Structures are given as C-alpha cells and as structure tokens.
Amino acid sequence: MNRLILLSILLLIIASCATTRSGSVIESGEASWYGPGFHGKQTANGETYNQDALTAAHRTLPFNTVVRVVNRNNGKSVDVRINDRGPYARGRIIDLSREAARRIDMIDSGIAPVRLILVRSEQPLRTRGPGNIRQEEFTIQLGSFNRRSDAESYAKQIRNSRVVSARVDENRVYRVYYGRYRSTGEASRDLNRLERNGHQGYVRQVQN
C-alpha cells in the first residue's frame, strides 16, 4: 500500500513538471505593446530594442523562445521571439513590439486578450501543471566585472554569493549574485541587510 501511494505521488510530480511541446497552449491572458519610448534602448537580454522587429517581453519564458500570439478578438496571430522582460502591469502576460501588435490589429486598442502557443524554445520549457509557466524567481546582483578574477575576489567577501558569466554586446562579463527568492519582497530584505554591511546591489529576475 505504501509503495502504491509513493508511486502515485511520483507520477503526480512528473506530470506537474512536464515538458511543454511545440504547438501547446502555454498561457492565456492580456497582451499590451510598447514602442517609441523604448526604441533603441537595451532589452533585458542585451539586444537593442527595435519596435519594428517581431519581438516581445515576457516575465519568465527563456530568452529566444518563439511563441505564436493569437488575438482572441479577431483570430489574427503573429510569431514573436522573447528578448525582454515584462510586462509588470497586473493581469498582462506579454508585451509586444509595435510591429507585432500591428500584425494582430491591436495598436489602437492598446491591449487585447491573447493565447500564447509555443513554437520553439532553445531549452526544454517546463510547467507546473497544464498551462502554468514556471514561477518567477529573483536574485540580488552585487556587481559586474570584465575579469573573472575581479568578480571572484569580490564574491569571496560575501558568503554564499556566486559568480556567473554572461555575454553583453559581444563582450564577456562576470556578475556576482546572491540568493534566490520567490518574490522581490524577500530579496529586498536581504538586500537591505547587505547594504548595511557596505555592499550595494539591486534585485533582478533570474533568467530561465
């Protein structure tokens, strides 16, 4: 009996963290769009934002994931690549470039109910139950260095910090991070403590 219960629990865990396949509906909600005020500025993955390209911002999908956005009001759709983070307005699930919004006829309305369908992803996209994308996760960035040795030297001053390399504008940088959190509130509490000890930083979202 105990073995049967354990097997049932294991199957439930596997099902709740299933890999999402191409063509699956991964999320439904409200879309918005952003344009002129951000054109030419840097996106969260280090690219330059181009309002005329078919890109979008999403809070948790891995960068370079391509999703089909279907406007539920008119059935029009467009494929976009995720290269930025957002939107952070309550109830909205994706922020489209101006051109993407134009293609599904939502420029004038500004917002529209949409359905997101996975086209492709460079890494397995896991969900916690049908249609629920992995939860947001946050960390504290304490520094960014051009040399790994400098980053590691600084990280040694802060117990449990870590060094992660990243590429920005064709250059390799080394960032010092501290902690992983389920909310910005949790992260902010530790950031306040670190700042009292002389370490400046800011809360940022962990990239999937």
177-194, pLDDT tens digit by residue?
998 887 778 888 889 989
- pTM for this prediction: 0.59
pLDDT of residue 52: 96
Strand partners, 126: 19
User: In terms of pLDDT, which residue wins out, 3 or 51?
Assistant: 51
More confident residue, 83 or 4: 83
Q: Is the pLDDT of residue 15 over 50?
A: no
Tokens of 76: 């029009």
CA distance 95 to 34: 7
Contacts of 166 (CB under 8 A, 6+ apart): 46, 172, 173, 174, 175
pLDDT tens by residue, 70-105: 999 999 999 999 999 888 777 789 999 999 999 999
List, in order of start, the domains of the chain with CATH numbers.
20-120 (2.40.40.10), 138-205 (3.30.70.1070)
